[in-house]
């Protein structure tokens, strides 16, 4: 049994193919998927997709790449997170790869999301790119460990992983772990404690080998598990069992 802890099924590349995706999930023993929010204007559509589906769950939040978009207050995020299908805050975080300073607005958005996660008692979904030092520092400053959460689509060094683990966070690996040149991710996959590991697709992006370059969906998360198992010298079933147990432990609002 597998779970995709991070996907974007509401994106136009996937939203119109949902029945077929659910069928492929069933065929590959993928029982649940977390559909992650990236901005507020699209959040109602995300919820309309998730609400009728017992296998799909949602988060609420604003991605750091979205500069010109409405920014919810912590109080608004907490209110929206009361919905029974909303199990996390985010995705949020810092991304210095695509955007240039001044990025104070991005850092302030991150702080608001951390505060909302603490107030809501829900885990935080964190995106970090070219910003690991500030991400870790701000998690500490805002006491994110009180909420816990996950560093999603993790591509940083083992030292950064350890810093996140020390703050009550899980590490989630995507299809990048199947890429031949992803040596840093391979090291993390081999070292992260099995009881702190999650797997994801981040679909529709980052399709794992042997589908690299093609459209991704949650049914392909099995290939992420298989590569992690190979790197650790264990079976895919062991990775599936651990990552699924971890998913339900972290996202405790999800019903099995």
**Which residue positions form the known binding site for a divalent metal cation?**
6, 8, 91, 127, 152, 202
What is the rounded end-to-end Cα distance, in angstroms, of the chain? 11
DSSP character string of 226-245:
HHHHHHHTS-HHHHHHHHHH
Residue 97 makes CB contacts below 8 A (sequence gap 6+) with 129, 130, 131
- Residue 98 has a CB neighbour count (10 Å cut-off) of 10
**CA 12 vs CA 9, 17, 45, 221: distances in Å:** 8, 9, 11, 20
Q: Which residues are annotated as a binding site?
A: 6, 8, 91, 127, 152, 202
Residue 130 makes CB contacts below 8 A (sequence gap 6+) with 95, 96, 97
| Residues 236, 229 contacting (CB under 8 angstroms) | yes
């Amino acid at each position: 049994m597998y779970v995709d802890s991070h996907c974007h099924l509401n994106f136009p590349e996937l939203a119109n193919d949902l029945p077929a995706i659910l069928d492929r999930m069933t065929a590959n023993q993928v029982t649940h998927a977390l559909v992650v929010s990236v901005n507020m204007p699209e959040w109602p559509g995300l919820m309309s997709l998730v609400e009728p589906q017992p296998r799909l769950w949602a988060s609420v939040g604003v991605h750091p790449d979205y500069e010109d978009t409405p920014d919810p207050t912590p109080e608004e995020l907490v209110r929206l997170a009361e919905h029974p299908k909303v199990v996390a805050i985010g995705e949020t975080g810092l991304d210095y790869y695509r955007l240039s300073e001044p990025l104070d607005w991005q850092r302030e958005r991150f702080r608001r999301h951390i505060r909302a996660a603490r107030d809501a008692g829900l885990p935080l979904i964190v995106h970090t790119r070219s910003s690991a030092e500030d991400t870790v520092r701000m998690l500490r400053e805002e006491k994110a460990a009180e909420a816990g959460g996950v560093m999603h689509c993790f591509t940083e060094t083992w030292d950064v992983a350890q810093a996140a683990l020390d703050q009550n966070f899980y590490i989630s690996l995507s299809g990048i772990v199947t890429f031949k040149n992803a040596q840093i991710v391979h090291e993390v996959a081999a070292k992260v404690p099995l009881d702190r590991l999650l797997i994801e697709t981040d679909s529709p992006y980052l399709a794992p080998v042997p589908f690299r370059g093609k459209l991704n969906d949650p049914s392909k998360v099995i290939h992420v598990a298989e590569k992690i198992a190979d790197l650790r010298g264990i079976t895919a079933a062991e990775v599936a069992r651990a990552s699924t147990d971890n998913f339900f432990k972290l996202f405790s609002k999800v019903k099995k």
